[in-house]
Amino acid sequence: MTTPEQQAEAPDRIWKAALLVIGDEILSGRTQDRNVAQVALWLNLQGIRLAEVRVVPDDLALIGEAVLQLKARNDYLFTTGGIGPTHDDITVDAIAAALGVPVVIHPRARAVLDEYYATRGGLTDARLRMARVPEGAELIENRVSGAPGIRIGNIFILAGVPHIAGLMLEALSNRLEGGLPLLSRTIGCWVPESEVADLLRETEKAHAGSQIGSYPLFREGKVGANFVVRSTDRATIDRCIAAIGVGLTALGYQAFDEGI
């Protein structure tokens, strides 16, 4: 818990999260990951920055190593993947081993699965695997497929299927402590980014607390770029966007607002 005094001492504290994507199917190229962007956008709304991402295969030691490193240097760690009923679902085992705690059946998870499978053939041993958690864990609700997500300390263990991971994030919305959300605004222009490199660098330097990213566009034979200004302060962003707009006009270009 943070007291009001502590908050006043560190009003700009940045809360950081890491995401560990677990699964051979991402590293083989078979499956296009959707969870990085999904988790990133959700974290922004909670006032938490996605600070780093790793993708590791279905391997106990590699999952465990990444979990310990990422947990230690971030306020929160999210994982996606590897919590289903089959032999390649080893996320719970890997995290429990890394934390040095046993794997136990969570009674509430067992009850949820019992009810879910009552009309679907019953709770088999394979299905009961989805009630296994590292000892000391709480559940993250999943009102669709029965199998819950898992929270243990600052680690949040989510499903790999993006829409199920999304429902688990929804269940966590507004429940994690965060700071000021990172806001952003985009301005675009049909200008090669190399012609505005000085303008962007100087605008960022002149506005403390701003970050400006430049992302090239190639469309219908034309070259342009989107300029994304990020800050926790809306007024700073608006001043940067205005400065870039004025600078583009001075160089003979017409900006389009909000980018494309």
List interacting residues with a second copy (CB under 8 A). Answer: 21, 23-34, 36-41, 44, 49-58, 62, 84-88, 120-121, 124, 126-127, 129-130, 161, 163, 182, 184, 192-198, 200-201, 204, 211-216, 218, 228, 230
**Spatial CB neighbours of 83, under 8 Å, sequence gap ≥ 6:** 89, 91, 92, 130, 147, 149, 150, 157, 158, 159, 160
CB of 89 to a second copy, least distance (A): 8
What length does the chain have? 260
> Rounded CA gap, 166 and 181, in Å?
19
Closest CB 115 distance from a second copy, rounded Å: 15
- Nearest distance, CB of residue 260 and a second copy, angstroms: 13
Nearer of residues 29 and 107 to a second copy, judged by Cβ: 29
Q: Give the residue with the Cβ less far from a second copy, 245 or 259.
A: 259
Nearer to a second copy, 95 or 227 (CB): 227
Residue ranges in the chain assigned as alpha helix (H):
4-9, 24-27, 35-45, 60-72, 91-99, 107-117, 125-128, 162-172, 197-206, 234-250
DSSP annotation of 194 reads: G
Q: In the complex, what is the shortest distance from the CB of residue 10 to a second copy, in angstroms, rounded to a whole number?
A: 21
C-beta closer to a second copy: residue 40 or 104? 40
